[in-house]
Amino acid sequence: MSVDPVGKKSETKIPLDEVVVSLYAAQQKIYPRSTSGVFTNWRWVMVWLTQLFFYGVPWLEWGQRQALLFDLEAKRFYIFNLVFYPQDLIYLTAILIISALSLFLFTAIAGRLWCGFTCPQTVYTEIFLWFESKIEGDRAARMKLDASPMSAKKLTKKTAKHLVWITFALWTGFTFVGYFTPIRELASLTLNMSLGPWETFWVLFYGFATYGNAGFLREQVCKYMCPYARFQSAMFDDDTLIVTYDEQRGEPRGGRSRKAELNSKQLGSCIDCSLCVQVCPTGIDIRKGLQYECIQCGACADVCDTVMDKMGYEPGLVKFSTQHGIANKWSRQQILGHIVRPRVLLYAAILASLVLGLLLSLWLRTPFRVDVVRDRGVMSRLSDDGMLENVYRLQIMNGTETTQHYQLRATGLEGLKLETEQDESDSENEEHNNTIIVKPTESRWLIVDLKIPDGSVDSGSHQIKFEIQSIESKETVTEKSIFLVPR
């Protein structure tokens, strides 16, 4: 599938000025050079923050349980003092929409901030690169090592690197599973070598994904797999902050002596040292302008500033700026002044109202739910003592992590009487007498008979309401149902 010179395949009848090329090519390995500077520092801050969160949070405890635990088997999500149930899926939807909108907002303001600083792909690649450069050396040393024939030294370095990578990846896989299976339990199971088949699979799978993505695939994930990388350009405009090369200032580029005065050779500020290309984790040349591969990590800006510093030039030949900013030679204040624009305001307004809505709805969320199911087999019946009865099943779901006592009432009809099983009081508290007891995070089916004196209301269907009050929280849930009276 490589490039075929025309002469060798004359039978394919291709005109002499055309060649057949493959649309696939072997991937060229990229050896990003290490950088230092303000954006590199920011990236490391984000690496530490995200990873302290990721590796640390599963170990936090809240009361008698893990503070953040997604118990898929029991269908309970524990998030600090809150417990979520499958019925709360709407909150997950809201969080996903909020995440997407945040991405829109950040992208409109400052381009691919997420990609360059917090995306797990970037963060883990950064960590894996750090291990790599500590073991194999920086860009030049790594290129030399890869080009050299196999030797004891090369084998040692490569083995050491992969061992460190695999260890780190396994720890990542272990932590990931620790969000779904209590991590302390998981740790002791791992130490006893008695991990279940699914836990083993997921630790290894997530570990393998980390190892493969951060160790090998790296920029290819961003270039060929990530959908966000492709559609983010829709959120860009001319006032979006992007990593730019100041072409007016830099060109014409060219090498020169360090002692040469700026402009002495009719050259621009770019000394064509190619360091910006060497540090690029996606292997592009920022001087060609905005490209879809650019993840806006700012490595080129950092390295260029050090070069400018050495040359005694102003920094900022490669910097975060906007299309307008570069074209109109705007100052920093002018660029920042253009952040507020309709697109940004719209994203911000939608985002703010969604966040507010979510918080409000979490605040108003009752810690228990009730479902009423009317018995359809028994439409209505006349009891031997002359009462007309309807039968219902109530499912009371206790969403809290403490035992709850509920009181049941039915309203809507004259003389409506409610009859159900009563639990024996489990405490000295008099308020707990004649209540329904539901254990923590459990639900309970309750059979409820409603009765009215026969003949006291017209025949037909009547709206009634069940009112269920929690003694502990004093909150009341009201559920509608109907009461049937036969002709």
Partner 1 sequence: MSDFINNFWPMFITVIALGGIFGCALLLWWTSKIKVAAGSDNTSGHVWDEDIREMNNPLPRWWVWMFIITIIFALFYFAAYPGLGSYAGKLGWSEVSQYEKEVATANEALKPLYAKFAAMPVETLAKDKEAKAIGERIFMNNCAACHGSDARGSRGFPNLTDNDWIHGGSPEKIQETITGGRIGMMPPMAAAVGNEEDVKNVANYVLSLSGSNHDSARAALGKEKFAVCAACHGADGKGNQSIGALNLTDNIWLHGVGEAAIIKRIHEGKVNQMPAWGTKFTPEQIHVLTAYVWGMSHK
Provide, rounded to whole angstroms, the least separation between the CB of residue 376 and partner 1: 8
455 sits near partner 1 (criterion: CB under 8 A): no
Q: Which stretch binds partner 1 (CB under 8 A): 111-119, 168-176, 373-381, 476-484?
A: 373-381
Instruction: Tell the burial category of 28 from Cβ atoms under 10 Å away from its Cβ (0-12, 13-18, 19+).
Output: exposed
Name residue 302's amino acid.
D
379 sits near partner 1 (criterion: CB under 8 A): yes
Whole-angstrom distance, CA of residue 277 vs CA of residue 269: 16
Task: Identify residues 347-366 at the interface with partner 1 (CB under 8 A).
Answer: none
Structure tokens at 294: 């650019």
482 sits near partner 1 (criterion: CB under 8 A): no
With CB under 8 A as the contact rule, the residue among 256, 381, 444, 462 that binds partner 1 is: 381
Among the listed residues 202, 210, 207, 208, the one whose alpha carbon sits nearest the alpha carbon of residue 72:
202
384 sits near partner 1 (criterion: CB under 8 A): yes
Provide, rounded to whole angstroms, the least separation between the CB of residue 34 and partner 1: 25
String of contacts with partner 1 for each residue 184-223, x by CB under 8 A: ------------------------------------x---
String of contacts with partner 1 for each residue 388-427, x by CB under 8 A: -x-xxx----------------------------------
Provide, rounded to whole angstroms, the least separation between the CB of residue 148 and partner 1: 25
The torsion defined by the Cα of 153, 157, 160 and 161, in degrees rounded to 10, comes to: -170
53 sits near partner 1 (criterion: CB under 8 A): no
List of E strands, 65-182 = 65-66, 68-71, 76-79, 82-84
73 sits near partner 1 (criterion: CB under 8 A): no
Q: How far is CA 381 from CA 385, 417, 418, 465, in A?
A: 11, 15, 15, 20
Whole-angstrom distance, CA of residue 380 vs CA of residue 421: 20
The answer to whether residues 168 and 124 touch, using CB atoms and an 8 Å cutoff, is no
Q: Which stretch binds partner 1 (CB under 8 A): 93-101, 226-234, 335-343, 379-387?
A: 379-387
382 sits near partner 1 (criterion: CB under 8 A): yes
With CB under 8 A as the contact rule, the residue among 380, 435, 469, 470 that binds partner 1 is: 380
316: phi > 0 → left, psi -120 to 50 → alpha, else beta; which?
left
- Give the interface with partner 1 as residue ranges (CB under 8 A): 1, 6, 14, 16-27, 220, 224, 375-382, 384, 389, 391-393, 445, 447, 449
